[in-house]
A and B are shown apart, each in its own frame.
Chain A
């Protein structure tokens, strides 16, 4: 059986679903970052696959952008995480509730 576009898209969807569940269920901030990475890479896979399918490089270029942005975002996020950890000695999401409505 040849690996076609649909396989990639199914993989992408499964990864995205895993990421979403991670975002919803995880209480550890570090794990949350992992989950977002999974989400972003699920999208990247879809981009690359569709780009290859149509023979158009735009999608792959976009995937690179996403990787670059995700890297910088994680850098900033980890910085904040370290500061938070130094102050409060934990990275539990449930403790971060100062922005109460």
Chain B
């Protein structure tokens, strides 16, 4: 089992290193195939581990090496496969294997094909370290690793100004949050004396409540950055500058859920501080609604899906904040499948439309892209939470959690958001695949993606459709390590009214979206229609003016301040000091080299000067020694000791 653990963990690293061997050379299909095969190996190893954990209920724990041992500080480099991490491993390996295979087709014409796979596999490795580590330090390494790979992949097309900007934005925002995370980890170590999950959590009930609250808050700040929660959310939508498979893998299925994973992993801590939990849940509900509202009007296919990811992350945080950790993890898993599918479908559409992102310029694509059409529709159905797709089981469960825990405001916000989710998902589907063939105006000839790309996507489709059926098995598995609370609405009648009501509401939202956007009267917006000039549309279109606010009140003042510091502090003080020292040495040298003009007579004169100086020093010193008593008396009179 330990060998399997290492195989699961290190195969992606080997794949990454292999692909990076070809980093500087021309596109080589091997650099795509080998990492994909290695990831498949990792997937197989993870599946065997899953079967082992599922059948025996035991954990696999290895201590690879001692990482740090100084004084009282002892941090082993250990890995742990338990019910929670094996779930994450499965999600990561399944989605990344599919995305790798898909990328072989998607990146076919890209000249940096090899580099892409090197980074993508490196990302998977970091993510595996993140989820498999048995201590906070290892988690943090993985955390930073995924951040780095995310930066490199968002800015993959670095010749585009916008891509590098988005990459830096994502990196810097995460950096801010990582500082919080790091403080949280320090607090954990400071107070419990251990970084291993088991030991640290075991020591926590004995700590003061206020300390625990601070720990919880700081760790959650880290989670907020990675999972793009308000107010650190702007990077996620901009991260869509990266290649679409990257968006599918990193910015939908895996990395952004790391924050949820952290909260789930730290459940013993958050169980002790329910007040922070309520805050997390409230923020989650707010983000769910907030992101969904921005998705309503957006005209960029990938950004719409990104906002929907943000919204679903909000759902997960609601569940995690209310103590329903297994529900959060379950929704994380289900969401990973259908959201990755949605993104890969969007990638197909983008390819067909020659990188056009505005769904208003598409329309009627279902005729030419049948496979993609079916997949994206089913993924959207799953996202909307229609029975019996995955989203129904996981998302409705979160609604039930809110209801059962008596947080009716959160419940109604989430319910309303579910309607919005259905609306914007099907607005997208209707705009892309139904209605008039508006793309003809722009002279595009769309074509379906490669067959193998569609085949690669099919396992995701299968999982998106059927993942809900695994609910009870899943519940029994993860509750071995997570609190086993079942959320049942007590009265059967209430339950049925709620469920059917939600379903009807969602279906109505879908029908409305179809009615509005699937007909032939949809035109490419040109900024003149009435709705586009409404205030609420403008607010949503500009993302509540938050990016503008950040630009005006953080970025610009910071730039000004930097410029001032550069001009006055750096140039006038630091540079001037360094230059001054150099100049003094230089001028002294320049002046004194005249002494060595080769003339013996001059040298002799200098020798005499030296002699006189030494003699006078000797005399002064001799006098000082002779009169030392008087001198010290005189100095003490001046107040010098």
Which residues of A come within 8 Å of B, CB atoms?
20, 23-24, 26-27, 32, 93-94, 96-101
Q: Which of B574-608 contact A (CB under 8 A)?
A: 593, 595-601, 604-605, 608
Chain B CB within 10 A, most for which of A27, A32, A97: A97
Can you list 29 residue pairs at the A/B interface with Cβ under 8 Å? A20-B608, A23-B604, A23-B608, A24-B601, A24-B604, A24-B605, A24-B608, A26-B601, A27-B601, A32-B604, A93-B599, A93-B600, A93-B601, A94-B599, A94-B601, A96-B599, A96-B600, A97-B597, A97-B598, A97-B599, A97-B600, A98-B598, A99-B598, A100-B596, A100-B597, A100-B598, A101-B595, A101-B597, A101-B598
B205 CB to closest chain A CB (Å) equals 78
Chain A CB within 10 A, most for which of B595, B600, B608: B600
B605 neighbours in A (Cβ, 8 Å): 24
Question: Majority SS of interface residues in chain B?
Answer: helix
Which residues of B come within 8 Å of A, CB atoms?
593, 595-601, 604-605, 608
Chain A CB within 10 A, most for which of B593, B601, B605, B608: B601
A100 neighbours in B (Cβ, 8 Å): 596-598
B17 CB to closest chain A CB (Å) equals 56
On whether the beta carbons of B601 and A101 are closer than 8 Å, the reply is no
B163 CB to closest chain A CB (Å) equals 58
Closest-by-CB residue of A relative to B595 is A101
B600 neighbours in A (Cβ, 8 Å): 93, 96-97
A99 neighbours in B (Cβ, 8 Å): 598
B597 CB to closest chain A CB (Å) equals 6
A7–B370 CA distance with the chains assembled, in angstroms: 124
A27 neighbours in B (Cβ, 8 Å): 601
Beyond the given A23-B604, A24-B605, A101-B593, please list 20 additional residue pairs across the A-B interface where CB-CB is below 8 A. A20-B608, A23-B608, A24-B604, A24-B608, A27-B601, A32-B604, A93-B599, A93-B600, A94-B599, A94-B601, A96-B599, A96-B600, A97-B597, A97-B598, A97-B599, A99-B598, A100-B596, A100-B597, A101-B595, A101-B597
A93–B599 CA distance with the chains assembled, in angstroms: 7
Closest-by-CB residue of B relative to A21 is B608
A43 CB to closest chain B CB (Å) equals 13
B607 CB to closest chain A CB (Å) equals 8
A5–B585 CA distance with the chains assembled, in angstroms: 49
A101 neighbours in B (Cβ, 8 Å): 593, 595-598
Closest-by-CB residue of A relative to B611 is A20
The 8 closest A-B pairs by CB, nearest first: A101-B596, A100-B598, A97-B598, A93-B601, A93-B600, A24-B605, A96-B600, A23-B604
A29 CB to closest chain B CB (Å) equals 9
A96–B599 CA distance with the chains assembled, in angstroms: 7
A93 neighbours in B (Cβ, 8 Å): 599-601
A17 CB to closest chain B CB (Å) equals 11
B596 neighbours in A (Cβ, 8 Å): 100-101
A26–B599 CA distance with the chains assembled, in angstroms: 13
B595 neighbours in A (Cβ, 8 Å): 101
B313 CB to closest chain A CB (Å) equals 73
A1 CB to closest chain B CB (Å) equals 28
Closest-by-CB residue of B relative to A35 is B604
A20–B605 CA distance with the chains assembled, in angstroms: 9
B598 neighbours in A (Cβ, 8 Å): 97-101
B267 CB to closest chain A CB (Å) equals 77
A35 CB to closest chain B CB (Å) equals 9
A24–B606 CA distance with the chains assembled, in angstroms: 9
A24 neighbours in B (Cβ, 8 Å): 601, 604-605, 608
A24–B596 CA distance with the chains assembled, in angstroms: 16
B608 neighbours in A (Cβ, 8 Å): 20, 23-24
A27–B599 CA distance with the chains assembled, in angstroms: 10
A27–B600 CA distance with the chains assembled, in angstroms: 9
B597 neighbours in A (Cβ, 8 Å): 97, 100-101
A32 neighbours in B (Cβ, 8 Å): 604
A31–B600 CA distance with the chains assembled, in angstroms: 14
Closest-by-CB residue of B relative to A25 is B601
A7–B593 CA distance with the chains assembled, in angstroms: 42
Closest-by-CB residue of A relative to B604 is A23
B593 neighbours in A (Cβ, 8 Å): 101
A46–B145 CA distance with the chains assembled, in angstroms: 82
A34 CB to closest chain B CB (Å) equals 14
A96–B604 CA distance with the chains assembled, in angstroms: 13
B306 CB to closest chain A CB (Å) equals 71
Closest-by-CB residue of B relative to A24 is B605
